[in-house]
Structure 1
């Protein structure tokens, strides 16, 4: 039984929602950030980049404190309000290609601790600690962890009924998306949604492993310092965006490698031949057609690599994953890449980028070789999590990606 609760969000006034909401900070170029900060006084980027007010670059713990100050200023200027009643928030995104919807709510750190919220990726300890310290200083979180659940006909019908009513927010963005948000705070509907989640034995983290781990660390640290702890405090929960499996969009990551580890092109192909059947397609690109089929771009030519299954043993769900196979048979033993997170010789491009981007970066000489594969399925992600295993870094690029600043969870 999972515990997914409504909460009192801090959020922008209706008239300002579209101006406040931002993409993830890392999605913007420096020029974009500068333009937004200069011409949009309501952008949440002012909170995330507090030094702009003084035309000064600020880092470290001092930056965390100033993020807190900018946030308080937004509240003092009545750009933000806090809801008086706990609510669920139904968030829908419509793009040129598709649409999806889910519920923003508070997930339990106890469920995370007890593996009712299951993980499939490793986290880096220093990143966990850094974000935990950030959350502790600023006192709020605006980036929900993306959780997924099996499709629920009852829950799906309830949410569709809500979407027939007028949205609290409705605005378009420059990337041609339309965003909608509904507040759900009527007691009967709130209780029904809560009960529907209680029927679910498990949830899965789709995106946000570091955020959930940091929230868990913060909750334990705060609990230990609170003699009156009762388990109902806000730090016992973390903001999440819960989306059904059918609404989830999973893309692959391509791998780009800067050199061939001192092998010539011919020597490298001979090494690959031990584990793969290789087909050269010249300048014709052939996308992977099935699992364990990789594409490769090397020295101006496209190749297909088909795993030789006669000398590869499938021992568990992890061993069947294409990102793992590529690591164990190519990246580690041939190209000498041990640390997939920190080795500067490897870079990643998620599957929303087209082939031209990958080809151009290799043709430019920045990289020597690139590998692509099919996206993983939700079943593969769940099987790996159920077995308590962790995927290689950058195994999945998962959408939707929410805008920051629309719902804020205070500790």
Structure 2
């Protein structure tokens, strides 16, 4: 909004303006740096859903060593954009959403830190309430850190990237570049990246649904016949929201259907093959609709569950799309199994809500951001 409208979002002037804005906010003390290293407790509330996490600088070496585990590929152009942004502003302003298996000891420490009035308490335009507490007590910091240190306790031996693969990959690249170059551009802070860690039972994954523009040259009747060769198909009077893995909702103009896959296919040993999106792709999207590369094929689009099943109906009934598919949400257990196996999920497998706020906490990489 402060640059010419026709400028490319990847123009160097865009990154330079971001650096100027950050420097100005520090100079004006709109943003203030805590005097000592600390954690933060970050609570999000969206309606009845509440999740509470720990803001920290996650370890780039741990990411590089697969102790912070991935489950999806990144796109080079998006990763490059994030590298340029981090390098230009010399800070990370967008956190990575990490999760880990439930640890009640950490939950207790985090809950104990939420005393008094939060440092930040704001409700954003989407109705999500964001609250932040500073964790500055050295004893509590030490107790939290010990849970992640294999030399002390190491109770939590793996973290999982839920959302933010491009941000974490970019942080690793920036650290490697500065490590290799040395000199004033490098500091120990470069070996970390901004993250918020949540217990696995607090993170909410919504469905990530599909709409397709045409039936690949098939009539409606022929398409339904091909689907019935691979799924149990039943017409339903109302919207079909899948109630379990292996069940799908399918919408054609004016009519919902419930699809069920052969239960034996859910017992596949490969954790990726067991995913609902993999089953739908293998048995319908690819062989019937002819879509083999959903990353690039313009015939398919993806709709986050936050927009509801009504959005699927709207896109089809408008004539823009020919068919829609509602999926059962991927579970965190499935995500962790894929990451533990060193595999990746198909594109657009997970939709996390609520979203973390950018800029509420920033992580400067070098001392040049300290304003006296």
Same fold (TM over 0.5): yes
Mapping of 1:11-160 within 5 angstroms? 49-51=1-3, 57=7, 59=9, 60-160=11-111
**Could you tell me how far 1:179 is from its partner in structure 2?**
2.0
Give the Cα separation in 2 of the matches to 1:341 and 1:244: 30
1:228-254, CA deviations, whole angstroms, 9 ceiling, x for partnerless residues? 999x61111100000111110011101
Give the Cα separation in 1 of the matches to 2:243 and 2:55: 36
Residue in structure 2 matching 1:241, options 196, 204, 228? 196
Mapping of 1:197-208 within 5 angstroms? 197-198=148-149, 199=154, 200-208=156-164
Give the Cα separation in 1 of the matches to 2:264 and 2:310: 34
1:223-282, CA deviations, whole angstroms, 9 ceiling, x for partnerless residues? 11116999x61111100000111110011101011111111111211221221111112x
Corresponding residue for 1:220? 176
**Could you tell me how far 1:119 is from its partner in structure 2?**
0.9
Residue in structure 1 matching 2:349, options 395, 401, 406? 395
Give the Cα separation in 2 of the matches to 1:178 and 1:67: 26
Q: Contact 1:50/1:70 (CA < 8 Å) preserved in 2?
A: no
Task: Say whether 1:327 aligns with 2:281.
Answer: yes
Residue in structure 2 matching 1:370, options 320, 324, 343? 324
Q: Root-mean-square deviation (CA), in Å?
A: 2.0
**Could you tell me how far 1:177 is from its partner in structure 2?**
3.0
**Could you tell me how far 1:287 is from its partner in structure 2?**
2.2
Q: Contact 2:74/2:166 (CA < 8 Å) preserved in 1?
A: yes
Q: Contact 1:253/1:397 (CA < 8 Å) preserved in 2?
A: yes
Structure 2 residues without counterparts, runs of 5 or longer: 366-372
Give the Cα separation in 1 of the matches to 2:146 and 2:265: 49
Structure 1 residues without counterparts, runs of 5 or longer: 1-48
Q: Contact 2:246/2:266 (CA < 8 Å) preserved in 1?
A: no
Residues 1:65 and 1:227: Cα distance change in structure 2 (over 3 Å): closer
Give the Cα separation in 2 of the matches to 1:309 and 1:172: 44
Q: Contact 1:275/1:311 (CA < 8 Å) preserved in 2?
A: no
**Could you tell me how far 1:309 is from its partner in structure 2?**
4.9
Residues 1:266 and 1:312: Cα distance change in structure 2 (over 3 Å): farther
